[in-house]
Amino acid sequence: MKKEVVIEVKDAKAKEAINSFLESLLEKNLVSALLVPREVPSKDNVVQNLMTNSNLPVRGPVCRAGTGRRMQTGGLKEVNVISPVLPVSSARIISQMTRLSSYKNPVGVVLRSCEIRALIELVKLKQASLDNLLIIGVDCLGTYSISDYQDLCKQGNSPSDELLRKFKEGREDTKLRKACQVCEYPIPSNADLVIGLVGVDFEKNILLKSGTEKGEKILEKFSFPEFNQSKREESVSKYLSKKIEKRDTLFSEMKGEVSGWENLLSVFSTCINCHNCMRVCPLCYCRECFFESPTFEFDSEKYLLWAKRKGSIKMPRDTTLFHLGRMSHMATSCVGCGLCEQACPSNIPLLKIFKMVSYNVQQIFKYVPGRDLEEPLPLTTFKEDELRSVGEE
Amino acid sequence: MANFEPKIVGFLCNWCTYAGADLAGTSRMQYPPNIRPIRVMCSGSVDSVYILRALLEGADGVFIGGCHPGDCHYVSGNYKERRRITVLKSILKSLGLDDGRVWIRWVSASEGKRYADSISEMTSHLKRLGPNPVSKYWSL
């Protein structure tokens, strides 16, 4: 039986209400640590924090012992799980944390849907472990690019408040990252607990829903009132259909823009080969990137030979090969988080390209990345009786 | 374009297609010399990047030869390659590129004729298609 309860919000402060719930998870020892986004001291970005203390000093990273100076403490005040910015996918962080060994005591991780989906793919790739992780998903209302987020902060606005307000008024936010505007999975699945914002009046109540037995047991430790608004499902499906519509528009735009070698090469020719997209991609699973291996180190004369062949060649070389190669490796698992595009210094529209290509690839195998832990990755499995025409044409 | 001789990069599985190619040779079968075979231990070891690299370097076609389904010496390499090629072809198609330059064929060690026929077929197909358009671009 899935449990749905509400966290009551005081003075329309949604963030604070969620934080007090997270705080009590630590206080009640239901988790030994929490991985959460926390606002940096300059307030214009967030970073993931692994917290074990629910009463953190508010400013300054170091509490100087013996100086007699008292640090101000403020619980989880700087934690902001609805901050609309995603500098790094937590899936990558959790992979780093659990690759060598899993946790003995429960660790709570607060994630967006795309992060959970990527995490599940990484577990299938044996690069992360869900053992003793309490996955707390948060309804995603979208994120801004890092620079847009910082701009909003500079203007003195709280991006989180602004996003909530816009969402409540049902206004479309065209400033959101393209990836978020066209995301079909903003509502977390496969989470132990879901913090629901869509279809609830988050100025008064926030939905807290259990998705698994583990989550249900946590909720039993609290005495939150039952959730009894039927609006949720309807609002969710409305929210999703808008996004799917936008996604389809994006796909049809794409067909004209990036089609054929000429277009494709001009899109990728501005690539500076920094491999940022690969580094931030939660699904670029190779421990060592093939494109950074000695395979791509050549003798000086070789470059001249290539140049002579065409009279002139672009340097750095092999940028198109890098993107197409990367695509062929991770398209089956791409969750469309768009971090590749956010990290690209040359503004290559990677999200558009990868999202459409991946969608088509995933359709072949009816595979949805992050849907089910038990579903094998398409490239690690096969059926004897499939794709009969391949190899016979 | 009449004298266009396509260059085909072939990845042939050691156990089936390479032996098939050998048989075609020892049986003195005639087929176009357009393929440059590379022997690999299994078609399942041919990563898409190798195929893409051949194409981007200007190969007019890439031919992958593997054992018939069910006959893989490593049990399932060819089944996995079948999926990988399907993914690669889908990527190429999504980007408006011609996936007809990548061929995969199952050729067993006893099918010298099938090998020779496949290469003849692919060569004439590529002759019709013309040179790989990638060759004219410097901005790879």
Q: Flag whether pLDDT at A69 surpasses 60.
A: no
User: Does residue B36 contact residue B9 with C-beta atoms inside 8 Å?
Assistant: yes
Measuring CA to CA, which residue among B5, B58, B76 is closest to residue A381?
Answer: B76
Q: Flag whether pLDDT at A299 surpasses 70.
A: yes
Interface test with A, best of B62, B94, B97, B103 (most A CBs within 10 A): B94
pLDDT digits (tens, 9 = 90+) for A84-109: 999 999 999 999 999 999 999 999 99
Contacts of B94 in chain A (CB under 8 A): 356-357, 360-361
pLDDT interval class at A3 (50, 70, 90): confident
> What integer pLDDT is reported at residue A76 of this predicted model?
83
> What is the pLDDT averaged over residues A230-253?
92
Say which residue the tokens 């049986």 belong to.
Answer: B27
CA angle B24, B30, B34 (to 5 degrees): 95
> What integer pLDDT is reported at residue B135 of this predicted model?
87
Provide Rg for chain B, Cα atoms: 15
pLDDT interval class at A53 (50, 70, 90): confident
> What is the pLDDT averaged over residues B13-41?
97
Contacts of A329 in chain B (CB under 8 A): 48-49
> What integer pLDDT is reported at residue A21 of this predicted model?
94
CA distance A152 to A144: 10
Listed ranges A161-165, A256-260, A273-277, A283-287; the one with the highest mean pLDDT: A273-277
pLDDT digits (tens, 9 = 90+) for A105-133: 999 999 999 999 999 999 999 999 999 99
Residue B85 backbone dihedrals phi, psi, to 5 degrees: -65, -35
ipTM: 0.95
Q: How many CB pairs under 8 A join A and B?
A: 117
A390 and B66 within 8 Å at the Cβ level: the answer is no
Which CATH number is B8-136 given? 3.40.50
A320 and B84 within 8 Å at the Cβ level: the answer is no
**Residue partners of A219: CB distance under 8 A and separation at least 6:** A3, A5, A193, A208, A210
pTM of the predicted structure, to 2 decimals: 0.93
Distance of CA B59 to the CA centre of its chain: 11
Measuring CA to CA, which residue among A51, A19, A18 is closest to residue A32?
Answer: A51
> What integer pLDDT is reported at residue A231 of this predicted model?
83
pLDDT digits (tens, 9 = 90+) for B82-110: 999 999 999 999 999 999 999 999 999 99
Of the listed ranges A55-69, A179-193, A363-377, B78-92, the least confidently predicted one is: A55-69
Instruction: For residue B26, give how far its alpha carbon lies from the nearest alpha carbon of chain A (Å).
Output: 24
User: Does residue A33 contact residue A50 with C-beta atoms inside 8 Å?
Assistant: yes
Q: Flag whether pLDDT at A389 surpasses 70.
A: yes
Query: Which among A332, A364, A391 is the nearest to B105, CB-wise?
Result: A391
For helices A146-154 and A159-169, what crossing angle results, to 10°? 100
CA distance A24 to A247: 39
Alpha helices in chain A (DSSP H): 14-27, 90-98, 113-124, 146-154, 159-169, 178-181, 213-220, 231-257, 260-268, 276-280, 300-310, 319-330, 339-343, 350-364
Instruction: For residue A24, give how far its alpha carbon lies from the nearest alpha carbon of chain B (Å).
Output: 47
Extents of the domains making up chain B:
8-136
